[in-house]
Structure 1
């Protein structure tokens, strides 16, 4: 499987690591050139260590070639990026993984979808922060990832990738649940901030199996 990832920050690093652990060939790009391109190269070297996959730092245009593209940018940056590359992204599986920082959260997801209405949209919401996703475990349990989509084949494709990566995918239903998932992770981040948890955080659905 080939996976494109746009964004080489904390979440992009975590997604690249997970996809490489699933054995994927990952094309990782940051938004710009210069310092951003250098960061993508550093993140690629770190994310691929000890995995069966491949992580290559590439240009944003090259990262859009796979049929599955993960958006790991802030939502405002994602929206700008999507509008610029709308034609290229039409028909691809687009996976939104970030947590919005401003209200209204559900509306923001709808804005992304409206920017590329011809894409096969999936909301993959890891119930934890980027560090816990990168490590894969929280208190010895795999981090849960809630996956919502109206396109069932696209959803299954993402669920299989998540499960192969060592995390636990949970079918969260249709895309109208995106706002609920945004609120879930926003709450987890707020509680973690209040408790000052240096080791990262995750919300776990029990029982585990």
Structure 2
């Protein structure tokens, strides 16, 4: 798969290297060709580097890790993203005392409005970037969940596969509107991490438990969750 990285900081560089290790073709983009090429040279694994425009043109899948920067500020034209999968791994800036306003629209939904020609997928926002250093092993043994949301089922499955390849457990999280909840999970994870001692990184592992065969704690009404 051809993957373009827009925003080659910690997140973009880490995921780009991991995907390159799995045999994908990766192109690191930056505001200048020199910076993009420098990132690729440092990353190795046969990766390429250049401008953000070149990364967007190269990839069938684009990781958009340029947090807080609109696509029109990063690309000469957003038309280059037409029909491409655009992964949004971003979280909002942490406010004082974690006093978040209620989410009316997720960052992923806003990104989708800015580039309606692309297929936006929310993923990789619920763990510290240091966690990628453990991928794919021993990360796989910890069964860390990646929540993946998009209005396009094929795009969801593609990103879920990319997550599984590098040691995560992908959780199909349905339509893009659900990114509001996924981003809230990311906010909570950062809250927990900040409260821990330095060097520890909380994650979420979603598992499926077996059905209860007997009710030893007394009869109860069946759950109405559907």
Cα displacement (A) at 1:60: 1.4
**1:19 Cα deviation after fit:** 1.2
- SS of residue in 2 equivalent to 1:149: coil
Query: Quick one: distance in 1 between partners of 2:3 and 2:37?
Result: 20
Shift of 1:77: 1.4
Q: Which structure exhibits the higher relative contact order, with contacts defined as CA atoms closer than 8 Å and separated by 6 or more residues?
A: 1
CA distances 1:68-104 after superposition (whole Å, capped 9, x unpaired): 1111111x21444467431111211111112222556
Structure 1 residues 109 and 151: alpha-carbon distance in aligned structure 2, compared to 1, 3 A threshold: same
Match of 2:78 in 1: 86
Structure with greater strand share of residues: 1
Q: Is the 8 A contact 1:13 1:43 kept in 2?
A: no
What are the Cα deviations for residues 40-69 of structure 1, in whole angstroms up to 9, with x where unaligned?
A: 245523xx4xxxxx3222221221122111
Cα drift, residue 116 of structure 1? 0.7
Helix, strand or coil: the match of 1:70?
strand
Structure 1 spans left out of the alignment, 5+ residues: 49-53
> Greater shift after overlay, 6-15 or 36-45?
36-45
Q: Any stretches of 5+ residues in structure 2 without a counterpart?
A: 95-99, 210-226
- Which is higher, the Rg of structure 1 or of structure 2? 2
Paired residue secondary structure (1:63):
helix
Using the size of structure 2 for normalisation, the TM-score is 0.77
Equivalent-residue separation in structure 2 for 1:15 and 1:120 (angstroms): 19
Q: Quote the Cα distance in structure 2 between the aligned partners of 1:9 and 1:57.
A: 13
**Structure (1 or 2) with the greater helix fraction:** 1
Q: How many residues align?
A: 199
Give 1:140-159 correspondences, 5 Å limit. 140-159=141-160
C-alpha distance in 2 between matches for 1:42 and 1:85: 27
Q: Is the 8 A contact 1:133 1:143 kept in 2?
A: no
**Helix, strand or coil at the partner of 1:4:** strand
TM-score relative to the length of structure 1: 0.82
Alpha-carbon shift at residue 175 of structure 1 (Å): 0.5
What is the Cα-based RMSD across aligned positions, in Å? 2.5
